[in-house]
């Protein structure tokens, strides 16, 4: 294993995220860390992971990291150069096992805000909005969320719900007309790994990153967070994973830097 001093925060998050992706499944990923996680999974434990991009690339074998979901590399050796309409239709039809999303705000039920901070009509800040995030979070079987954790981001209630999590709890997605069995699966932050096994489909801490304590997590969360009975420790990235990330996936340092 790589020592704590020998890996960066991003390398840790990518490694943890990649291990959540299973072989022989499909993953709809976005630009940045989700893309690196998908590529790392393909090059390690999940060679048959089918990566899907919002712009229409389905099942590419990317030579190096694309700069966006519309980069030509997201179509390299793909099984289809399709369209955004088709990709979102695949998700709606139930063909997407994993969806990867970021968030500006995330609440205890996994609802995501990427639209506004503050009142919708008179916001403190306007954010990029949904893009395909609502479709991804609504229809993917399991949604993985990557977010930097602090009290401004992990909030009691989102200022605006761009993408539905479990809404207000158990059964709420189904009552809203969303497919049964879908919803947030894991949350990855710089402090730990979370699921939604808490009471009434709330976030629950299931693993801490090396050197992090439960008190650190509590100090950076604006709601009371449940802790799993058996709290695990995440595995740091191996030297081999770090080598793959820098030499094969992102040699230009687009995300990882030089």
Q: In this structure, are residues 53 and 29 in contact, taking their beta carbons and an 8 Å threshold?
A: yes
The mean pLDDT of 14-34, rounded to a whole number, is 96
CB atoms near residue 184 (< 10 Å): 28
Active site residue 54: yes
* 246 has a pLDDT exceeding 80: yes
Predicted local confidence at residue 5, as pLDDT: 58
pLDDT of 233 over the 80 cut: yes
Q: What predicted TM-score, i.e. pTM, was given to this entire model?
A: 0.94
Which ranges constitute the DSSP H helices of the chain?
Answer: 9-20, 33-43, 84-92, 133-139, 172-175, 214-219, 239-243
CA distances from 199 to 87, 100, 146 (A): 33, 24, 22
pLDDT at 81 > cutoff 60: yes
Residues 50, 120 contacting (CB under 8 angstroms) = no
**Which residues share a beta bridge with 146?**
102, 188
SS3 category, 136: helix
The one catalytic residue among 11, 22, 54, 226: 54
Which one, of 99, 209, 112, 181, lies nearest residue 144 by Cα? 99
Gap between the Cα atoms of 161 and 155, Å rounded: 12
Residue that wins the pLDDT comparison between 63 and 131 = 63
Question: What band does 258 get if pLDDT is binned at 50, 70 and 90?
Answer: confident
pLDDT of 162 higher than 60: yes
Distance CA 100, CA 153 (A): 17
The model's pLDDT over 26-52, given as tens digits with 9 standing for 90+, comes to 999 988 999 999 999 999 999 999 999
Structural domains of the chain ordered from first start = 4-248 (3.40.1080.10)
């Amino acid at each position: 294993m790589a020592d704590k001093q020998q890996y960066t925060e991003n390398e840790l998050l990518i490694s943890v995220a990649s291990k959540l992706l299973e072989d022989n499944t499909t993953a709809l990923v976005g630009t940045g860390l989700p893309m690196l996680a998908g590529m790392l999974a393909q090059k390690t434990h999940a060679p048959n992971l089918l990566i899907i991009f919002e712009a229409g690339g389905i099942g590419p074998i990317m030579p190096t990291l694309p700069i966006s979901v519309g980069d030509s590399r997201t179509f390299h050796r793909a099984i289809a150069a399709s369209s955004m309409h088709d990709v979102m239709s695949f998700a709606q039809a139930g063909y997407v096992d994993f969806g990867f999303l970021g968030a500006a705000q995330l609440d205890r039920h996994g609802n995501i805000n990427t639209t506004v901070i503050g009142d919708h009509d008179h916001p403190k800040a306007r954010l990029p909005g949904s893009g395909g995030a609502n479709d991804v979070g609504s229809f993917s079987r399991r949604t993985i969320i990557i977010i930097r954790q602090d009290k401004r981001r992990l909030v009691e209630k989102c200022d605006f719900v761009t993408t539905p999590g479990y809404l207000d709890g158990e059964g709420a997605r189904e009552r809203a007309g969303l497919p049964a069995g879908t919803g947030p699966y894991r949350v990855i932050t710089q402090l730990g790994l979370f699921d939604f096994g808490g009471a009434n489909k709330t976030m629950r801490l299931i693993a801490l990153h090396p050197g992090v304590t439960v008190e650190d997590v509590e100090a950076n969360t604006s709601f009371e967070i449940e802790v799993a009975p058996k709290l695990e420790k995440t595995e740091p990235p191996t030297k081999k994973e770090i080598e793959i990330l820098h030499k094969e996936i992102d040699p230009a340092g687009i995300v990882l830097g030089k």
